[in-house]
Amino acid sequence: ELKVEQNPLFLSMQEGKNYTIYCNYSTTSDRLYWYRQDPGKSLESLFVLLSNGAVKQEGRLMASLDTKARLSTLHITAAVHDLSATYFCAVDANNAGNMLTFGGGTRLMVKP
């Protein structure tokens, strides 16, 4: 059974600081997705990572995938309050685009 683990589960950081969220998964896959969820809202797609070594950046967020280590990272650069949300990684274990297994989420709070 595929397991997806994120850490930390909760992250409180000051504006302007950098930090990394880690996503480990237990089975071979080269398709990993990052989503953002604001309180009471749905999931917003952030990144789609489809191969080993994939790196994508959008604004202050950068995601990478190491399929050999079964690890993805979401790096936050110079955090701002608007980045406060819960971030989920999800793995497509079948590489078939049908079943996503999500991590437990990282709740990020950026304080002024």
Partner 1 sequence: DAGVTQSPTHLIKTRGQQVTLRCSPKSGHDTVSWYQQALGQGPQFIFQYYEEEERQRGNFPDRFSGHQFPNYSSELNVNALLLGDSALYLCASSLARRGHGVEQFFGPGTRLTVL
Q: Would you tell me which residues interact with partner 1 (CB under 8 A)?
A: 4, 31, 33, 35, 41-45, 48, 50, 88, 90, 92, 94, 96-105
Nearest 5 degrees, angle CA 33-CA 40-CA 103? 30
Given a contact cutoff of 8 angstroms between Cβ atoms, the answer to whether 60 and 79 are in contact is yes
Answer yes or no: are the C-beta atoms of 10 and 105 closer than 8 Å. Answer: no
When the beta carbons of 30 and 77 are compared against partner 1, the nearer one is 30
Our CB check for partner 1 shows the closer of 57 and 95 to be 95
Q: Nearer to partner 1 by C-beta: 50 or 71?
A: 50
Give the nearest distance from C-beta 70 to partner 1 in angstroms.
17
- Residue 89, Cβ density class (10 Å: 0-12 exposed, 13-18 middle, ≥19 buried): buried
Q: How far is the CB of 16 from partner 1 (least distance, A)?
A: 28
Closest approach, Cβ 80 to partner 1, in A, equals 24
C-alpha span between 52 and 45 (Å, rounded): 20
Nearest to partner 1 of 14, 57 (CB atom) = 57
